Each structure stands twice: as structure tokens, then as C-alpha cells.
Amino acid sequence: MSRSFSFELEATEGAARKGTFRTPHGPVRTPAFMPVGTLGAVKTLSPDEVARVGSSMILANTYHLYLRPGHLEVSQLGGLHAFMRWDGPILTDSGGFQVFSLSDIREIHDDGVIFQSHIDGSTHEFTPESVIEIQRTLGADVIMAFDECPPGGCERAVAARANERTLRWLERCRAHFDEMGRVAEIDLPEQSLFPIVQGNVYPDLRREHARAVLALGDWDGVAIGGLSVGEPKPKMWETLEVLDPELPADRPRYLMGVGYPDDLLEAIGRGCDLFDCVAPTRNARHGTAWTLDDGQVNMKAARHRGSTRPLDSSCDCYACSRFDRAYLRHMVVAGEAFAHRLISMHNIRFLHRIAEESRRRIDEGSFTTWSADWLERYRAARARRAT
């Protein structure tokens, strides 16, 4: 484990955990949600706005930054933190999920993946070594190993083969990460490599893969991949329950790609610490906001016309403290980008408030009761809107 990274577990209630993940660019109080800055920016928001809604760590995407402007250009401009004007911790994913999503224009082999750019159709190849080199050059605090993410609902044999390949790739990722640190021609920042545990929703494969991954090194943290990719929600929760006793208690656990409000709270209750998802900003661009009393709200709906209510009366974000639903609906219907910005601020803040309250409740020992009540209230509101 690197001296520049550490995790302090401060309180638990059941499987739920409160802690602090320390990085070279500052601490992250966990559980914590990481907004996604795919291309180097959280959609429509400035870095200052992202910080003001409560974000301490953000995610950027290796696949997209590799294609444009290119990792070497980012490095020449001072690295990802300087390029994005973000002073806090940054995590980059490996690009594996994006590459594997390009099912019609990619070819998987044991050495890596050959794929076509979604921008211009040009051909590229990701290998464990090249993915590490790209991320090392970008300069994020936490970088991810290259893995194979099989689709949700895949057969057991497919998941087992993906586990084997992911493990082989992890060994190569670790070796190249260490080698770059020894012979770097550029001044590399302090970074931490997280492995990714796969296995789909097969309990035995998840246990086996977690144990094999942990046997390969003293990792600063562990990521859980291959969930929220189409499997039934109960299977996701069962998988997290299987993994909870397998993963080190003194390292952060990053559940990849999960960020809907109730999913976040369910996963916190099953021992996960870090989360990311494009949902808060993607939903905002479609005029959809999250609220506790009304569930998921479509701001295009005519019922908001003339309403002087805020989006969420309990929320302290800029959108809720300054604007009412009538104004937001008008902005959304008119196609004004300001509406997307306001709802993005609110949705990200909504997730941060869940994480903040979870930390407080875990600390005082009331998380289990509070989270059950919160989920019942939120889901009841969502069900009312669906009828």
C-alpha cells in the first residue's frame, strides 16, 4: 500500500461503513459519490460549482481522453488536474467498459482489445500496458486496471472466461505500473492502481475472483465491476453481500457505475464506499430531477406550470434555494441550457446529501432504520408518479 494513500475506517453499522480515504490531492469522506467528468468536465458545470455542491473527488474517462485531445497533450499541458482546473482527487477508469460496449466495432483477444473510434472510425488497440501508460500519463490520483466486463445476464462460462482474462491482465497492469514508476522519463505523480473484481452475479465466481485479485498485491483499494449492467437489482444486492466478507475492511471499496439514489443507499448498506454514475447529469439534460417527497420528477410536466414550490424543500442547493418549479419547467420546455445546469447541480447535491446523511447515521448507529425509512418514502413517491 502506498504511503500517499490511506483509508481510515471510522465507524460501522452492520455492513455500512464510514471512513476517510486520503489521497495526494486531499481526503475523501466516505461513503462518497464521484460525479463523472467524461471528457474532462462534469456536463454543464464548472469545477467550482462541482465543488460547491459537495464533490471532493471526480471521475474522468480514459477512453474519451485518449481519443481527444490525447493523453500526451494533457500531460504537456500540466496533467489532468491542471488541464481540468480541479484541485481535488481524480479517478480515471480504464476505458474498458466503453470499449466493451462497442460490441459491433471491437475485437477481443488475449492481448487486449482492437476497436474503432466512435469519432472517426479509426482503429486503435488497448492492452493492459497501454491503458496503464495512458492513465499514468494523464496523472489521475487513482487509476483502474484493464478488465473484461461481460454483459449482464451472460452465461456462467462467459463470466468465468472474463474472470480469467481479467486476472491475467491485472498481473500485466501491475507489472507495467511498477515498471513505469521505476524508469519513468517524465515526472510521474503519486498514483494508486485499483484492481477490479468481476464475476457477474455468480457467487462462486465473485468469491474466487476477489480472493485471486487480493492475492496479487497489497492494493490501496478495490473496485467492484460488472454490476448495474442489466442484471436484476436483487442480484446486484446479493452479489454485494457475497463480496462484503471477502474484501479488506481497511481499504475503500469502489462500486463502479452506480448512482441512482435508492441504488446508492442500498449499496452503502452493503459495505460500498465510493460510487460514480452519469445518471445525475444525464437525467438533468432530459429535465428529470430527484426529490424525496415526489420521487423522480419530470420537469416538462404541465403540473409544474405556475408552481412556486422548489424542486425539493429539504435541499440546500442553488437551484432549490433560488428558483421554483414554474421557472425550471419554463427553462426545460424552452430548451435553455441553464435548466440543465440547475438540475445537474440539484441531482448531484441530492446524492451527496444521501452520502452525508449516511455518514452521520452510521456514526450515531441509526443508519439501518433511517435508510429503510428513506427508501420506503422515496419508492412510494416514485410509485405514485408512475400511476
Q: What is the pLDDT of residue 1?
A: 62
Q: Using omega within 30 degrees of 0 as the cis cutoff, is the peptide bond preceding 31 cis? A: yes
**pTM for the whole structure:** 0.96
3-state secondary structure (DSSP) of residue 316: coil
- Beta strand 253-255 with 222-224: parallel, antiparallel or unpaired? parallel
> What residues are paired with 33 via a beta bridge?
275
CATH of domain 6-277: 3.20.20.105
Q: What is the pLDDT of residue 248?
A: 98
Query: What's the one-letter identity of residue 12?
Result: T
d(CA 307, CA 268) in angstroms, rounded, equals 34
Scored b (16 or more CB within 10 A) or e, 34-60 reads: bbbbbebbbbbbebebbeebbbbbbbb
d(CA 12, CA 224) in angstroms, rounded, equals 20
Angle ∠(49,44,305) on CA atoms, nearest 5: 95
DSSP 53: T
Whose CA is closest to 103, among 118, 81, 84? 118
Cα dihedral 356, 357, 361, 362 sign:
negative
Inter-residue contact 199 to 226 (CB < 8 Å) = yes
Q: Is-catalytic flag, 48?
A: no
Return the residue matching grid coordinates 494508486.
192
Give the distance from CA 279 to its chain's centroid. 10
Q: Is-catalytic flag, 178?
A: no
d(CA 294, CA 70) in angstroms, rounded, equals 43
Contacts for 139 with CB less than 8 Å, ≥ 6 apart: 74, 75, 79, 80, 81, 188, 189, 191
Whose CA is closest to 370, among 382, 359, 381, 380? 359
235-248 pLDDT per residue, tens: 999 999 999 999 99
d(CA 259, CA 133) in angstroms, rounded, equals 28
Location of each CATH 3.20.20.105 domain in the chain:
6-277
Q: What is the pLDDT of residue 386?
A: 62
DSSP 353: H
d(CA 289, CA 374) in angstroms, rounded, equals 17
Contacts for 45 with CB less than 8 Å, ≥ 6 apart: 35, 281, 341, 344, 345, 348
Exactly one of 263, 276, 294, 312 is catalytic; which is it?
A: 276
Cα dihedral 372, 378, 381, 387 sign:
negative
Q: Low-confidence residues of the chain, pLDDT below 70?
A: 1-2, 103, 105, 184-187, 386-387
d(CA 39, CA 117) in angstroms, rounded, equals 15
> What are the residue ranges of helices labelled H in the chain?
47-52, 62-67, 71-76, 80-84, 96-101, 128-138, 156-183, 203-215, 233-243, 261-268, 279-285, 318-322, 325-333, 337-364, 367-386
DSSP 286: T
d(CA 3, CA 6) in angstroms, rounded, equals 7
Exactly one of 87, 93, 187, 312 is catalytic; which is it?
A: 93
What phi and psi, each to the nearest 5 degrees, are found at residue 352? -65, -35
